[in-house]
Amino acid sequence: MANISKKVTWSGRDDEEEQQKRLQEPGEGTPLLNGSTSGPESRHGRQFPHANFFRIGQLSTVNLDDDIQELEAEKSPPSPKEIPHNEKLLSLKYESLDYDNSENLLFLEEERRINRTGFRTVEVSRWIICGLIGILTGLVACFIDIVVENLAGLKYHIVKENIDKFTENGGLSFSLLLWASWNSAFVMVGSLLVAFGEPIAAGSGIPQIKCFLNGVKIPHVVRLKTLVVKVCGVILSVAGGLAVGKEGPMIHSGSVIAAGISQGRSTSLKKDFKIFEYFRRDTEKRDFVSAGAAAGVSAAFGAPVGGVLFSLEEGASFWNQLLTWRIFFASMISTFTLNFVLSFYKNKPGDLSNPGLINFGRFDTKENGYNIYEIFIFICMGAIGGILGAVFNAANYWLTIFRIRYIHRRYLQVIEAMLVAAVTATIAFIMIYYSNDCQPLQENSIEYPLQLFCADGQYNSMASTFFTTPERSVRSLFHDPAGSFDPQTLGLFTLVYFILACWTYGLTVSAGVFIPSLLIGAAWGRLFGILLQLASNGANWADPGKYALLGAAAQLGGIVRMTLSLTVIIVEATGNVTYGFPVMLVLMTAKIVGDCFIEGLYDIHIKLQSVPFLHWEAPVTSHSLISREVMSAPVTCIKRREKVGVIVDFLSDTSSNHNGFPVVENNSDTTQPPRLCGLILRSQLIVLLKHKVFVERENMSLTQRRLKLKDFRDAYPRFPPIQSIHVSQDERECLMDMTEFMNPTPYTVPQDASLPRLFKLFRALGLRHLVVVDGHNRVVGLVTRKDLARYRIGREGLEELYLAQT
Amino acid sequence: MANISKKVTWSGRDDEEEQQKRLQEPGEGTPLLNGSTSGPESRHGRQFPHANFFRIGQLSTVNLDDDIQELEAEKSPPSPKEIPHNEKLLSLKYESLDYDNSENLLFLEEERRINRTGFRTVEVSRWIICGLIGILTGLVACFIDIVVENLAGLKYHIVKENIDKFTENGGLSFSLLLWASWNSAFVMVGSLLVAFGEPIAAGSGIPQIKCFLNGVKIPHVVRLKTLVVKVCGVILSVAGGLAVGKEGPMIHSGSVIAAGISQGRSTSLKKDFKIFEYFRRDTEKRDFVSAGAAAGVSAAFGAPVGGVLFSLEEGASFWNQLLTWRIFFASMISTFTLNFVLSFYKNKPGDLSNPGLINFGRFDTKENGYNIYEIFIFICMGAIGGILGAVFNAANYWLTIFRIRYIHRRYLQVIEAMLVAAVTATIAFIMIYYSNDCQPLQENSIEYPLQLFCADGQYNSMASTFFTTPERSVRSLFHDPAGSFDPQTLGLFTLVYFILACWTYGLTVSAGVFIPSLLIGAAWGRLFGILLQLASNGANWADPGKYALLGAAAQLGGIVRMTLSLTVIIVEATGNVTYGFPVMLVLMTAKIVGDCFIEGLYDIHIKLQSVPFLHWEAPVTSHSLISREVMSAPVTCIKRREKVGVIVDFLSDTSSNHNGFPVVENNSDTTQPPRLCGLILRSQLIVLLKHKVFVERENMSLTQRRLKLKDFRDAYPRFPPIQSIHVSQDERECLMDMTEFMNPTPYTVPQDASLPRLFKLFRALGLRHLVVVDGHNRVVGLVTRKDLARYRIGREGLEELYLAQT
């Protein structure tokens, strides 16, 4: 069952011998015949054969039928059990986005026809779309906020009454049962929606959006259905009391909204508004999705600048001033919309004090400055955050591996989610029950104060962290006056919530990890502050609220490993810049310390999904590789005028899984490889075949209907598979002329360019295919995203990932 | 004297006929023989001949001798009279930076030799350098701040005593004389330093740094001498009471510091520390200069995030996460250093409340929120700012043209600067003298309260804006309680200061335009607020301080036309994010309105200096141009093994002014253009010639000393001119082998790629040369920065600039 191509690892030092060795080794991959793929002959006719499909020994427990079904069922939503279980894999199922325009004759003709006024209209439409993205993202955020508040309010109200009733009479186990059932019921509905509706909507969606902005086409990720499932899912999981936040999913929601609006139609609803047709291509869509992601962050945290930076830090490679301004505009509109609508909902119309879903509350700067000697304390906190973050990530990594192996059936996933919900309620209940930390009740500070066994006029302090939404807990940890929390309560809470949050992330529910991370950090940060205060005999500077904020930053930084954008997000969410420097220090330290142990949480999940993710730079020691070694070869080339039959045949051949084909001159001398004259995409060929743009004889020009760019745009983005196109035997003998449709000026590299050089070109321009040519401009190979993403720095130096069809 | 190549203009619509016409028109340029250039035959063997040297009719008044001297005196500092006086020019004297590494064999060998630990050391050095940049930039800012404060304090103290003395006795004209002389004396020294020391240090330096980050090598811009002159100059011009700020120049200072530290040596001081040798190339230097610019902004405004965004918005094209983090680190360190040192200077060690040179003071958010209906008022303010900014820019544009024509001698420039200083003092004095606006004296609000003819216990309100440093005036306009200023005072002040600031910008002194712009805006903004308060019968929301802030933003935005980074800078400088949305609205509106009339101030000055500046995108209607039309051809190619004599000859030939040469295969068939095999730079050839890396016969290998990368790095960045290298007659017959030194994998484009496609590649990778090849990989032309920068959108559509040697 198992078949793995040989893993080749070498370090910078002895690369020459290694390379020699590699050249001598014959390919070891013996491909496996599989139900749906016809003879997956290795497409790499060189020293590294990549098996098209394989399975690792460990996983032989997985049912084979299941896997074949998955490979066949392209239209059904991908189920999360597809995630491979080995991080040394790169999946071949992900395609790239075409960030580089195919500048064929049709495109150039259109561009030349548009005059300056036309371009101005296009530019204005871009701004309008960004405005709409902002407004809709803000509205979706409002909707989530209001529904969550009401649902959770209802739940806490009922449970509180019940608890109050049974506290005196005894029989609190009924209350626990009630609470746990409420939670499980909410979570069950949410989990069912996700598992059976749209599995891609699970989790926070940030890894998926990161991949999309990186240029990877993740199936279903920006569909309307995903948005609906995501929004309902996140409401239900937050209302269900899980240790999750509603902020992360906003980023995904914003992205879907952006992708939808910018296209001026919905493929799912089969509704075409006939507007924004100019933007129906990957380049424009990806730009708008960056704006959507930024608008999402902005609505979630009230952080428009943070949103822009998030989009840039996580996604963009090419910085464009105009695009950035548009992104900024979308972000601003989004937080403004949220603020405006919530001001009406809260009966204070015009009062713009709710810029985001989470509000950290104002930190009063006059009291809470910081001193120079506190900087060392901050660095320590950063280090603690980094270590705790690494522990969190490692635990979640092993948990995810476990889930992939054993919990890959949908009903199991739903059951696990319900279990977590019930356990969360139970643990919370037990902790509240056995807690002796009673605090005097102050006005308005606690929304659902549980008296339990406390004296009258007092409330249970543990309940103020557990018996409310996580957002409120964060705020009370930041702002409640010194002495509101007992150190023991905080310590216990940190431990328990850490375990719960770690267990929860990766469940089949829509939920984010930002708020739980902040909450864990705020709890131990406050504890740290209290201890400092004790150690320094109640010094003035050791304000627990400040340390709670920095602890929250440290923990979040240790888990997600963002720096610049996270600094700005936290600064914007706190509403003042005094703590900018400490927050930055803490985040930097957390990142540096955390990176010594394990990667960031999102990167772990991206890796576990085997996404061909391109990092910012090529691995440092990869100068020893040249394009000839990296590229895929031999590559299927098409002649400028090719027989329809030939094209249909190789498009149907699943072993040639590229999506772009170099077009070459019709060559009389067959001993030499043919000369490059263009590049055509699989999708373009399919549209050509569908519209039957054929000529009958060699020297006949096109007489049938002339294709326009519109035909390509109408087919975008869901091009039909080749199997759905029927070509008669007569038509197979016709010719197809690519001249008008191919990109006549594809980017090329010489065959001895180094990998970092290729990488830079590929990354900076967001390419999908890069043709490798020899000194005579003859095609010798093709470099795609997978060929570059395959190399990375491992423990023993540069290592190469396996490619797999999984 | 004049000789101009024909200007060809066409719009998107009728481009095809136009192109036809252009193809038929013969070149009209009849080049002019000039003292130093030998036969400037047009290097463009195509339809647009570019005269290598020409002069426009209008300027025939300029002394010819002067111009020849300039062309010859390459080593003497460029004098500002060189600025061409026509914005439809592109100067050929500016070279590009090599942001793309020349990946020759030496480089690859070195990279392959370095192992992971080595790369880690390099990465750590980068962080150390960024830290040092931050520290030194912060210290320089401290130095400027402290010296200015003391010098200006001394001056105001003496003048105030004098005025107080003469107010009662009469004879205030003596006081005026004293004040004016102080100012003129300071400014004279500053201006002399700049005019005769280092003319590039004039102005704020932001346009120059913008160009540098864009990839243009501006001579002398990052030299130590420039830094010294800049720092002294800015101290003297601020102390001299000019309408200038010390913030803009910090950006230039930070950049010089960055360029200096990162190289580990000073060419001026002839001191090589033998460290950081790896960074001695344009790629690394440019990255560090971005960090330096950010650190400068950060120190100036206490805005670390704003600094990063400034660097990115104005400079970067390729966004790299790691680089951005380093830039952020440098910024943070810079503002921290400033804050830390100033806390000691102000005898409050550890009190970190002075993050920047200018401090807008805290805006208390609880009182000064804003209401939804104020948003329309903000948009109006933005529009006013845009219009006033456009007026400012237009006036300064004409003034600059006037200066280029008539005030190009250095002593005239010094005299003008002194005149402005004296006039500024006089006007201020007159305005204070005739002002009747007396206000009751409050504690600590005014540092040098002038009583003049006010009653005891009162001070002259006009003096509180004029008789202090502009930074203090801005702060008092923002924060002084309502009623501190009379509307008439503010109106008059706005008008006068507007004129003064406009006259001052462009003088031969080191000075920034940020603070004067903020001051003008704050004045009319406050006036606007007062009028609103009157109109609304003293409504609570119409706080003059808030409107002063937004007016300041509008005015600054209208002049410099930055949005994202400026929003963040202002938000960080005010210390809270409440006004983020209004500031952003105001800046956006100001930009949109201003752009209808005229460009931003920095862009105007860049254009007037004829710098080949590449914007973010190619002109929208330029899809009609293809590389064949854009490129320079024929291009000088070098054979892989070429005779030394041939190389020396064409390097000495000033008509071939390219700095990179395609290397081609030794071709037996001379009827065909030769095939490309690499690219070599002029500087590399010069190093090769200097070290005499020759072989004597065709099939002899290199026996003499083997060159290392170190030899190239040691020569960087001031490569000797070809004239300084002596080659004997015997040596002329030897051969030079490029194989090891050329870049074997230069980026190429096909000859029918569209201009936007070329542009994108060029801009995204920061290229210096892009080889245009035909279908057989044979060199047909070369595209450089000037070939791309030449095209821009004018009033009548796409237009082409002239190239000139000026």
pLDDT band at B23 (very low <50, low <70, confident <90, very high): very low
Contacts of A12 in chain B (CB under 8 A): 112-116, 118
Exposure b/e, B312-334, CB count within 10 A at least 16 = b? bbbbbbbbbbebbbbbbbbbbbb
Q: Which of B295, B306, B198 is nearest to B584 (CA)?
A: B306
Contacts of A322 in chain B (CB under 8 A): 616-617
Nearest to B371 among A308, A350, A576 (CB): A350
- Which has more confidence, B83 or A328? A328
The mean pLDDT value for B545-570 works out to 92
Among A447-456, A641-650, A753-762, B320-329, where is mean pLDDT lowest?
A447-456
What is the C-alpha to C-alpha distance for residues B653 and A365, in angstroms, rounded to an integer? Answer: 66
Interface predicted TM-score (ipTM): 0.85
CB B536 within 8 A of CB B530: no
**Pairing mode, strands B89-91 and B458-460:** unpaired
Which chain B residue is nearest to residue A798, measuring alpha carbons? B116
Give the H or E element holding residue A260.
helix A248-263
What is the C-alpha to C-alpha distance for residues A773 and A219, in angstroms, rounded to an integer? Answer: 32
> What is residue B393's predicted lDDT score, i.e. its pLDDT?
96
- Res. A226: pLDDT tops 90: yes
Q: Do B745 and A760 lie within an 8 Å CB cutoff?
A: no
Which chain A residue is nearest to residue B13, measuring alpha carbons? A115
> What is residue A667's predicted lDDT score, i.e. its pLDDT?
66
Pick the residue of B16, B18, B327, B577 with the most A CBs within 10 A to test the interface with A by mutation.
B577
Give the H or E element holding residue B18.
helix B15-24
pLDDT band at B735 (very low <50, low <70, confident <90, very high): confident
> What is residue A36's predicted lDDT score, i.e. its pLDDT?
33
Half-sphere CA count of B237, side-chain side, radius 13 A: 38
CB B306 within 8 A of CB B297: yes
Nearest to A623 among B111, B617, B761 (CB): B111
> What is residue B731's predicted lDDT score, i.e. its pLDDT?
84
CA B272 to the chain's CA centroid = 28
Q: Do B754 and A108 lie within an 8 Å CB cutoff?
A: yes
Nearest to B119 among A116, A564, A621 (CB): A621
- Res. A397: pLDDT tops 50: yes
Sketch out chain B's domains with CATH numbers. Answer: 1-113+624-806 (3.10.580.10), 118-345 (1.10.3080.10), 374-608 (1.10.3080.10)
> What is residue B26's predicted lDDT score, i.e. its pLDDT?
37
Nearest to B350 among A114, A340, A371 (CB): A371
Among A134-138, B26-30, B601-605, where is mean pLDDT lowest?
B26-30
pLDDT band at B172 (very low <50, low <70, confident <90, very high): confident
- Res. A62: pLDDT tops 70: no
- Res. A185: pLDDT tops 90: yes
- Res. B275: pLDDT tops 60: yes
> What is residue B53's predicted lDDT score, i.e. its pLDDT?
31
- Res. A451: pLDDT tops 60: yes
pLDDT band at B416 (very low <50, low <70, confident <90, very high): very high
pLDDT band at B20 (very low <50, low <70, confident <90, very high): very low
- Res. B54: pLDDT tops 70: no
**pLDDT averaged over chain B?**
81
> What is residue B193's predicted lDDT score, i.e. its pLDDT?
94
CA B402 to the chain's CA centroid = 21
- End-to-end Cα spacing for chain A: 14
Nearest to A319 among B113, B318, B369 (CB): B318
Exposure b/e, A371-410, CB count within 10 A at least 16 = b? eeebbebbbebbbbbbbbbbbbbeebbebbbebbeebbeb
Q: Do A776 and B371 lie within an 8 Å CB cutoff?
A: no
Among A282-296, B469-483, B592-606, where is mean pLDDT lowest?
B469-483
How far off is chain A from B726, nearest CA to CA, in Å? Answer: 35
Among A249-263, A400-414, B27-41, B708-722, where is mean pLDDT lowest?
B27-41
> What is residue A727's predicted lDDT score, i.e. its pLDDT?
85
The mean pLDDT value for A43-61 works out to 33
Q: Which of A674, A803, A680 is nearest to A42 (CA)?
A: A803
Q: Do B336 and A13 lie within an 8 Å CB cutoff?
A: no
Among A649-658, A781-790, B666-675, B689-698, where is mean pLDDT lowest?
B666-675
How far off is chain A from B556, nearest CA to CA, in Å? Answer: 17
Rounded to whole angstroms, what are the CA distances from B803 to B69, B401, B649, B681, B792? 20, 19, 24, 22, 13
Q: Do A108 and B623 lie within an 8 Å CB cutoff?
A: yes
> What is residue A364's predicted lDDT score, i.e. its pLDDT?
64
The mean pLDDT value for B692-711 works out to 68
Pick the residue of A119, A125, A620 with the most B CBs within 10 A to test the interface with B by mutation.
A620
Tokens of A109: 């003709």
How far off is chain B from A252, nearest CA to CA, in Å? Answer: 21
pLDDT band at B372 (very low <50, low <70, confident <90, very high): confident
How far off is chain A from B137, nearest CA to CA, in Å? Answer: 17
How far off is chain B from A219, nearest CA to CA, in Å? Answer: 26
Which chain A residue is nearest to residue B757, measuring alpha carbons? A103
The mean pLDDT value for B91-115 works out to 85
Three-state SS for A273-307 is: CCCCHHHCCHHHHHHHHHHHHHHHHHHHHCCHHHH
Nearest to A372 among B350, B353, B581 (CB): B350
Q: Do B116 and A621 lie within an 8 Å CB cutoff?
A: yes
> What is residue B95's predicted lDDT score, i.e. its pLDDT?
85
Q: Is A51 helix (H, G, I), strand (E, B) or coil?
A: coil
The mean pLDDT value for B542-569 works out to 90
**pLDDT averaged over chain A?**
81
Contacts of A573 in chain B (CB under 8 A): none
- Res. A63: pLDDT tops 70: no
Q: Is A497 helix (H, G, I), strand (E, B) or coil?
A: helix
Pick the residue of B372, B672, B743 with the most A CBs within 10 A to test the interface with A by mutation.
B372
Pick the residue of A318, A348, A577, A747 with the most B CBs within 10 A to test the interface with B by mutation.
A577
Nearest to B765 among A572, A752, A760 (CB): A760
How far off is chain A from B128, nearest CA to CA, in Å? Answer: 14
Give the H or E element holding residue B228.
helix B224-239
> What is residue B62's predicted lDDT score, i.e. its pLDDT?
31
How far off is chain B from A506, nearest CA to CA, in Å? Answer: 27
> What is residue A465's predicted lDDT score, i.e. its pLDDT?
76
Helix A282-301, helix A206-214: angle, nearest 10: 150
Among B221-230, B583-592, B670-679, where is mean pLDDT lowest?
B670-679
**Pairing mode, strands B95-96 and B216-217:** antiparallel
Q: Which of B528, B374, B417, B372 is nearest to B195 (CA)?
A: B417
> What is residue B36's predicted lDDT score, i.e. its pLDDT?
34
pLDDT band at A375 (very low <50, low <70, confident <90, very high): confident
> What is residue B489's predicted lDDT score, i.e. its pLDDT?
84
CB B51 within 8 A of CB B40: yes
Contacts of A585 in chain B (CB under 8 A): 332
The mean pLDDT value for B403-407 works out to 88
pLDDT band at A699 (very low <50, low <70, confident <90, very high): low
Q: Which amino acid is at B802?
A: Y
pLDDT band at A698 (very low <50, low <70, confident <90, very high): low
Q: Between A and B, how many residue pairs show a Cβ–Cβ distance under 8 A?
A: 220
- Which has more confidence, A319 or A125? A125
**Pairing mode, strands A660-664 and A458-460:** unpaired
The mean pLDDT value for B409-428 works out to 92
Q: Which of A388-397, A561-570, B300-309 has the highest mean pLDDT?
A: A388-397
What is the C-alpha to C-alpha distance for residues B788 and B658, in angstroms, rounded to an integer? Answer: 15
Nearest to B320 among A332, A371, A616 (CB): A616
Percent of chain B with pLDDT strictly greater than 90? 33
- Which has more confidence, B28 or B658? B658
Q: Do B317 and A319 lie within an 8 Å CB cutoff?
A: yes
Contacts of A563 in chain B (CB under 8 A): 325, 328
What is the C-alpha to C-alpha distance for residues A80 and A400, in angstroms, rounded to an integer? Answer: 11
> What is residue A702's predicted lDDT score, i.e. its pLDDT?
52
pLDDT band at A445 (very low <50, low <70, confident <90, very high): low
- Tens of pLDDT, residue by residue over A69-103, are 333 334 444 444 444 456 677 887 888 888 888 88
> What is residue B432's predicted lDDT score, i.e. its pLDDT?
84
Pick the residue of B319, B325, B709 with the most A CBs within 10 A to test the interface with A by mutation.
B319
CB A772 within 8 A of CB A747: no
Q: In this structure, how many other beta carbons lie within 10 angstroms of the beta carbon of residue A225?
A: 16
Which chain B residue is nearest to residue A113, measuring alpha carbons? B13
Nearest to B761 among A11, A563, A765 (CB): A765
What is the C-alpha to C-alpha distance for residues A181 and A160, in angstroms, rounded to an integer? Answer: 14
> What is residue B67's predicted lDDT score, i.e. its pLDDT?
36
Contacts of A783 in chain B (CB under 8 A): none
- Res. A765: pLDDT tops 90: no
What is the C-alpha to C-alpha distance for residues B519 and B485, in angstroms, rounded to an integer? Answer: 14
How far off is chain B from A496, nearest CA to CA, in Å? Answer: 34
Among A254-263, A755-764, B6-15, B165-174, where is mean pLDDT lowest?
B6-15
CA A412 to the chain's CA centroid = 24
DSSP label of A635: -
- Res. B170: pLDDT tops 90: no
> What is residue B525's predicted lDDT score, i.e. its pLDDT?
94
- Which has more confidence, B640 or A464? B640
What is the C-alpha to C-alpha distance for residues B722 and B687, in angstroms, rounded to an integer? Answer: 10
Nearest to B318 among A313, A318, A623 (CB): A318
How far off is chain A from B34, nearest CA to CA, in Å? Answer: 41
The mean pLDDT value for B185-210 works out to 92
The mean pLDDT value for A341-352 works out to 81
- Res. A176: pLDDT tops 50: yes
> What is residue B142's predicted lDDT score, i.e. its pLDDT?
94
- Which has more confidence, A622 or A267? A622
